Amino acid sequence: MDRLNQQLQFIAEAGRLRGVLRQTTLADPARRENSAEHSWHLTVLALALGEYAPPGTDLARVAAMLVVHDLVEVDAGDLSAYAPPPEQARQLAAERAAADRLFALLPADQAGPMRQIWDEFEERATLEARFARALDRLQPMLENVKVGGGTWRQPGITAADVLAKVELIADGSPRLGQFARELVDQAVRDGILTADPSRAGK
């Protein structure tokens, strides 16, 4: 197969992400969000909120990460961030196998660097990956507020669970982390997120 056809095959496989539904519910239209449009929305966040990344963050690389970060879901599907650890471990293995398959559709000189972008996002070691991960965690919170609860209404989820996830936002961007904590507090006050029982009365 010639080079362009290899690239087009990758593009076609990637396109299947439009058929992968996430846990997030959209307000308008009222339906579950798919991972392709979610990825796009994250690139809008990166453009609008780039100033909250630490100085020196390469925002073009952040954008590239956001474009490819969910590609593996065309094979592995989406899993709730609140799924129990054994499920998370199975998901991780499935996503790695998907990355092995998908990026290898590209010509070898592209497959390596593209896989590196995905690995970097997963490893969350660089400024770029930490900021990209922060946005990936912030966006569903914004949607939850808009629909009046969304995934926060899942049985057993409390503010403490959500605040634990917010740590990753603060790690990528202190200002956005602070905002996300305020969002959680407001959600509890609005009754769309269950208060942490251990903090009752505080």
Site membership for its own copies, residue 126 (CB under 8 A): no
Instruction: Rule CB under 8 A: choose which of 23, 67, 122, 195 binds its own copies.
Output: 67
* Residue 53 token pair: 């990344």
d(Cα 54, Cα 105) in Å, to the nearest integer?
34
Site for its own copies in 172-201 (CB under 8 A): 175, 179
- In sequence order, what are the residues at sequence separation of 6 or more whose Cβ sits closer than 8 angstroms to the Cβ of residue 165? 81, 137
Asked if 36 is part of the footprint of its own copies (rule: CB under 8 A), the reply reads yes
Q: How far is the CB of 198 from its own copies (least distance, A)?
A: 30
| Phi and psi at residue 126, to the nearest 5° | -90, 160
How far from 58 is each of 53, 118, 130, 136, CA to CA, in Å?
A: 9, 15, 12, 17
Out of 1, 54, 116, 146, the only residue in the binding site for its own copies (CB under 8 A) is 146
- Judge contact between 131 and 53, C-beta under 8 A: yes
Among 14, 53, 129, 187, binds its own copies (CB under 8 A): 14
Positions that interact with its own copies (CB under 8 A) = 4, 7-8, 10-12, 14-19, 26, 28-29, 33-34, 36-37, 39-41, 43-45, 47-49, 52, 60, 63-64, 67-68, 106, 110, 114, 142-143, 146, 175, 179
